[in-house]
Amino acid sequence: MFKRIAPLDGIYPPFFSRYVEQEAGVVAFFNGNYREGESYRRRAFFLQGRSFPSEVRELLVEINAALPVQPPPGWAEKVRDRRTLFVITGQQPGLLAGPLLVLYKALAAVRLARRLELLLQVPVQPLFWMASEDHNVQPLLHSSMLAGEGRVARLSLNLPPHHLPAGKLELEQEALADLFAQLEGLDLPGGGVHQERVMEWLRTTISPGKETLSSWFMRIMSHLCAALGLIFFDPLAAAARGLYIPLLLRALESRGEMHRVIALAEEALVARGFPLQVKRRGQETFIMITWGEKRYPLLLERDYYYTPGGELSLSREELFQLIVARPALFSPNVLLRPLFQDSLFPSLAYVAGPAELAYFAQLKGLYAFFNLEPSLLFPRPGVTLLEPALLELAGRSGLGLETAEDLLEARRGPEPLREKLWPRSRLQERAFNPVAYLLVYGFPFWEKFSLEFPGEPGHYLYFIKTEEGG
């Protein structure tokens, strides 16, 4: 059972909370009201007058046809249909599908796409953009799990230090064997009656061939979400096909003006008391390059493009030639990625978390350089999972768990309660892994949870029933 709680202050950053409520001082940084059907109608009308590369749709079919679980029948025809619009979300590929919030974003995209398909009477496809080009992967190789007696276990995929993008980081068999040994050694609440079946399932998600962090992530996500209609996109595959070339060149040509426009948005955000999510130094090209087994930001000083440590230095002509000759080396940075998404796909909306929403606020003016308008931003719902044992523990501590005030008060509760509700002082959704709940409650839990997942933004309490554990 889901129960929405309010207010969101103290649970999420103020900027996100105010956007959820559509306060005027925050809405001005975005393109329309996510609550109004008319905003989506206007967006759909704009998209109908645009053209998008047909190669992207074929690439989508190719990527998803190779996954172990397929979406419902007719999905490929829907993707190829030029009338089909998209609801997009995305995240870095983390260990065992990453933190819970990844699935919350995926489920929110599925729910929103269904709703907009009925509203607009056009095909709408939910799409997960997997940030396989992300190179800050060390945090992604760890995961927190529920353990017995209120404890939290931390699992790790032990790989040598590296700076490769997640889509190029190969998983070593020895490291995978060690990870599975960690999972099998967990002291699970309730004795782990589902552990054997879930472990068997996890083993089937690993490809017999070469597996990278992002490919394993995508395979696990397909098992959990493809049947709901979600499909996946790998931007490294798009870069390898040269689909980014015109976007990269346009970004380089417009770089100075883009910095000016971002600075205006940043000044307005700071004037209203909001911190900046992404800091600039002014030398950024907004483009990343993978060079010598490492991914770097590409900077500009005088007439030369270079990496921060001096590993590479290129003239303008040399850089442009390299982009055309070896496009797979290049990818957008965090500020440019949303524009690449909206250039490749007719995107009605993007389902964004708190941090994403904050940096999207810096970008609205950039879209004119690409002859685009921003997608509508739909704030993802958040959830705190409440197990029977957790509720019992809260009761023994004299604390109810029914309201936002209760959830915030739990930060000062006994350590076992804090660690299950605010692990390492973070929201549960940012720390715990979904596989932890499958191990304890089995696949019936996931089926029920995904079916009932809320379609409106906000934060929810989800009360897990004893029978969900089988």
CA nearest neighbour of 226 among 236, 218, 234:
218
Burial class (CB in 10 A: 0-12, 13-18, 19+), 70: middle
Residue with token string 């992604």: 140
Q: How far apart are CA 393 and CA 408, in angstroms?
A: 16
pLDDT of residue 332: 94
Q: Which domain holds residue 116?
A: 1-470
Q: At what angle do helices 337-344 and 245-253 cross, to 10 degrees?
A: 130
Q: How far apart are CA 224 and CA 230, in angstroms?
A: 10
Task: Convert 314-338 to b/e letters by CB count within 10 Å (16 or more is b).
Answer: beeeebbebbeeebeebbbbebbbb
Counted domains in the chain: 1
Distance of CA 452 to the CA centre of its chain: 21
Q: How far apart are CA 353 and CA 427, in angstroms?
A: 13
Sign of CA dihedral 130, 131, 135, 140: negative
CB 272 within 8 A of CB 286: no
29: CATH: 3.40.50.620
Tokens of 332: 């957008």
pLDDT of residue 181: 95
CB 30 within 8 A of CB 364: yes
Using DSSP's 3-state secondary structure scheme, residue 179 falls into helix
pLDDT of residue 124: 98
pLDDT tens-digit readout, 183-227: 999 888 776 789 999 999 999 999 887 899 999 999 999 999 999
CB 120 within 8 A of CB 38: no
Report the predicted TM-score, pTM, of the whole model to 2 decimal places: 0.96
pLDDT of residue 145: 83
CA angle 105, 110, 112 (to 5 degrees): 90
pLDDT of residue 290: 93
pLDDT of residue 468: 60
pLDDT of residue 150: 66
Low-confidence ranges of the chain (pLDDT < 50): 470
Tokens of 159: 């790989």
CA angle 294, 174, 217 (to 5 degrees): 60
pLDDT of residue 193: 84
Element spanning 124, H or E: strand 124-130
